[in-house]
Amino acid sequence: MKYIVTYSKALAFIILLSLSISVFAQAPDVPSPAPPQEGRIYLTNATIHTGTGKVLQNATIGFDNGKIFYLEENPVTKPDTNSGRIIDCTGKHIYPGIISTNTIIGLSEIEAVRAANDNAEVGQFNPNVKAIVSYNTDSRVTPTLRSNGVLYAQVAPQGGYVSGTSAVVQLDAWNWEDAAVKNEDGVFINWPSMFKVKSWWAEPQEFEINKDYDKELDGLKAYFKDAKSYFEAGAHEKTNLGFEAMKGLFDKSKNLYVKVYYVKEIQNAIAFAEELGVNIVLVGAKDSYMIADVLAQKKIPVILSKCHDLPTYEDEDIQQPYKTPAILQKAGVLYCISIGAFWQERNLMFEAGTASAYGLSKEEALQAITRNPAKILNLDKQIGTLERGKDASLIVSTGDVLDMKTSNIEQAYISGRKIDLGNKQKALSEKFMKKYGVN
């Protein structure tokens, strides 16, 4: 437990509370990170969903030093038992570790408590603020994601027009340095909104036209043009920290993640990115299904907002958010499913499950939270699928991981490290089950 010391009574309360729990509980709120893999591990006789679209029946996967070196369906020759540990996974399902994108896990701990939030910096243009430096590996929330199979996260700042630089982390680490898969992933921006909310707070939202939309857009464009000019000019007497952080956009080593909503805004955002010559990834983009063909043709990826959502428009297909992934899939858009929150990310696999109930195949739904996000994050050489040479980051479930009725993660590995699936909630559950003598 690594809390920055303040003299808040609330903090003292938290510490007291957690101490009192640890007296009874079997595991701490945040289990220790796993040590590096030692020796080969084989998971045998499993149904392996590789994330490439294939399902291998009665298959075995072997990994060493964190990398997969063995993957066979109905292996003819059994793996050499002397060369490593064999774990029988008969009847179980193995999947690539799930990747959560556009999340504030580790930046926010308790939504309503101001002190527990590090997700939005003040000001409009903050490309140089970096998620990685405030990513809290000791969050009590993170273990609840891991235990459901989420092993990686793209952690992204949220404020202003230019929110900051995202990071990709693996979710089992002592500190953010250990956690980092990518320290500086891409720049997140909030696209100016064509509308402003005007309705009374308790009512469903009603909007009015944002008369300043064009002006706000011009401001954003001017900022990016200045940043590009700064990049192209090379050396500078005076350093602009923001523009330094944006260089990667113009040499295309970083993505520009644009949070955008309506199709008109999406069109504007695409034109903006084309004008500036940056790699754009749409984030949220509930209307993206309306221009799926354009996105496919222009090869613009989408980090899609949650499926478990209501339609945007009253007339829209009432199941539209459930069906959007299948529309993007069919059109050939590279997309992944996201939630855009933190504690809720443990339900990411069920969002994909719903998308499968409404048009995706189960393997496509799996890809939408494994292979596809890895591709969007340019980490697909390393994670996102189970293939020889890739990281042994995988989960073992006793049943279909996409269905809450059967989803039950029994083992999880990050780069071959077998991680502790305990969490504070399990501990509390055990504590009180024991008290009542039930199980």
Partner 1 sequence: MLHFFRPLLVGLILLVQTSLFSQETTFHRNGPDDFREGVHAFIHATLFKTYNTKIEDATLLIRDGKVVEAGADVAIPKGAIVHDMKGKFIYPSFIDIYSSYGLPDPKKQGGNGGPQMETNTKGAYGWNQAIHADYSAIKNFIADDKKADELRKLGFGTVLTHNKDGIARGTGAAVTLASDKENNLVVKADASAHYSFNKGTSTQDYPESLMGIIALLRQTYYDAEWYKNLKDKKEYNLSLEAWNNTQSLPQIFDASYDWQNILRADKIAREFGVQYIIKGNGTEYQRIDEIKNTKARLITSLNFPKAYDVEDPYKAIWVSLEEMKHWELAPTNPAALAKAGIEFALTPADLEKKDDFLPNLRKAVKYGLDSVTALKSITQNPAEFLNITDKVGSLEPGKLANFIITSKPLFDEKCDINENWIQGKRYEIKAFAPKDIRGTYSLTFSNSSAYTLKLTGDDAAPKAIVIITDSVKPEVKLTYKGNDITLSFNPEKKKELNKIFLTGTIDSTFKNWRGKGQLANGDWISWSATQTKGPDADTSKPKKDSTAVNLSKLGKVLYPFNAYGNEETPKPENLLIKNGMVWTNEADGNLVEDVVIRSGKITLIGKNLSCADCKVLDATGKYVTSGIIDEHSHIAISYGVNEGSEASSAEVRIGDVVNATDIDIYRQLSGGVVASQLLHGSANPIGGQSGLVKLRWGFAPEKMKIEGADGFIKFALGENVKQSNWGDRAVVRYPQTRMGVEQTYYNYFTKAREYGKARAAKTPVRRDLELDALLEILKGKRFITCHSYVQSEINMLMHVSDTFGFKINTFTHILEGYKVADKIKAHGIYASTFADWWAYKYEVIDAIPYNAAILTKVGVTTAVNSDDAEMGRRLNQEAAKSIKYGGLSEIEAWKLCTLNPAKMLHLDSHMGSIKTGKDADIAIWSDNPLSIYARVEQTFVDGMRLYDSERDAQKHDEIRKERARLIQKMLDDKSAGASIQQPTPKGKNGMTIGDEN
Residues that bind partner 1 (CB under 8 A): 10, 14, 17, 109-113, 140-141, 195, 198-200, 202-209, 262-264, 267, 290, 308-310, 312-315, 317-319, 342-343, 346-347, 350, 353-354, 356-358, 402-405, 407-408, 425-426, 428-429, 432-433, 436, 438-439
Nearest-angstrom CA–CA distance, 30 and 421: 10
Shortest distance in whole angstroms from residue 228 CB to partner 1: 29
- Nearer to partner 1 by Cβ, of 335 and 358: the residue is 358
Q: 155: closest CA among 172, 167, 165?
A: 167
Residue type, position 179, single letter: A
CB 70 within 8 A of CB 79: yes
CA 97 – CA 74 distance, rounded (Å): 23
| Nearest distance in Å: CB 188, partner 1 | 22
Rank residues 34 and 428 by Cβ distance to partner 1 and give the closer one: 428
User: Any idea which residue has 């990747």 for tokens?
Assistant: 99
Write out the two tokens for 27. Answer: 């595991």
Q: Outline where 40-103 has alpha helix (H).
A: none
Beta bridge partners of 162: 125, 189
Copy the structure tokens of residue 382.
Answer: 């390393």
CB of 426 to partner 1, least distance (A): 8
- Cβ proximity to partner 1: between 82 and 439 the closer is 439
The one-character DSSP state at 19 is H
CA 306, CA 326: separation in Å to the nearest integer?
13
CB-nearer residue toward partner 1: 147 or 255 = 147
Nearest-approach distance from CB 182 to partner 1, in angstroms:
25
Cα(125)–Cα(122) distance, integer angstroms: 9
Q: What's the closest the beta carbon of residue 176 comes to partner 1, in angstroms?
A: 20
User: To the nearest whole angstrom, how small is the minimum distance from the Cβ of residue 134 to partner 1?
Assistant: 17
CB of 353 to partner 1, least distance (A): 4
* 125 or 289: CB nearest partner 1: 289
Q: Are 99 and 154 in contact (CB under 8 A)?
A: yes
Nearer to partner 1, 226 or 309 (CB): 309
> In this structure, are residues 341 and 334 in contact, taking their beta carbons and an 8 Å threshold?
no
The residue (of 152 and 342) whose beta carbon lies closer to partner 1 is 342
> Which contiguous run of DSSP H or E holds residue 224?
helix 213-233
